[in-house]
Amino acid sequence: MSNTERTFIAVKPDGVQRALFPEVLRRFSQKGFKLVGIKLTFAKEELLREHYSDLQSKPFFPSLLSYMMSGPVLATVWEGKDVVKQGRALLGATNPLQSAPGTIRGDFALDMGRNIIHGSDSVESAEKEIALWFKKDELVSYKSEMYGWIYE
């Protein structure tokens, strides 16, 4: 399993407005993942249509777009062992009411349309989402001084 797997994690507008983004950064960092990209940005409709292209036909699609455009999004990229799957576990289930306490959605959210955070659901979609949200030169490569204490 590669220590250089990457995932795309976005704190949605509600998570930014509710000042939950430091908690998200803390949880991913303290788990041992390395932050390699971060920016606060207003997502454009075109980008969101591409990002959520598989949900286009869903009845909640228009409200999902307006939710995601209702304020700035904190877009981040994290690197580490099994980070895509582990990241989804840190997030919890899509429906916060079905998310276990201890997960981000389980601890901080109630409604699906206000579920705080997005995380890529596969290595393949992570690659696609990272390329969609970040330019290559916005991602940084550096040696983490924590690595020797996290990986054996």
Indicate the annotated binding residues for ATP: 12, 60, 88, 94, 105, 115
> Which strand (E) or helix (H) includes residue 28?
helix 21-31
What track of x and - describes contact with ligand ADP for positions 31 through 60 (by CB under 6 A)? Answer: ------------------------x----x
Q: Tell me, what amino acid is at 7?
A: T
> Which strand (E) or helix (H) includes residue 48?
helix 45-51
Based on the shown chain and the rule CB under 6 A, indicate whether residue 112 belongs to the binding site for ligand ADP. yes
| 141 Ramachandran zone, left/alpha/beta (phi>0; psi -120 to 50) | beta
User: By CB under 6 A, how many residues form the interface with ligand ADP?
Assistant: 9
Based on the shown chain and the rule CB under 6 A, indicate whether residue 64 belongs to the binding site for ligand ADP. yes
Pick from 110, 117, 108: which is nearest to 96 by CA? 110
118 is catalytic: yes
Q: Which of 29, 41, 94, 122 binds ligand ADP (CB under 6 A)?
A: 94
Q: Which residues contact 37 (CB under 8 A, 6 or more apart)?
A: 75, 76, 77, 130, 134, 138, 139, 140
Q: Which residue is nearest to ligand ADP (CB)?
A: 94
DSSP percent split of the chain into helix, strand, coil, nearest 5: 45, 15, 35
Q: Which of 110, 113, 122, 147 binds ligand ADP (CB under 6 A)?
A: 113
Q: Which one of 6, 34, 51, 118 is the catalytic residue?
A: 118
**Which is closer to ligand ADP, CB of 23 or CB of 150?**
23
User: Taking contact as CB under 6 A, which single stretch among the options 13-21, 36-44, 112-120, 130-138 is the one that binds ligand ADP?
Assistant: 112-120
Active site residues per annotation: 118
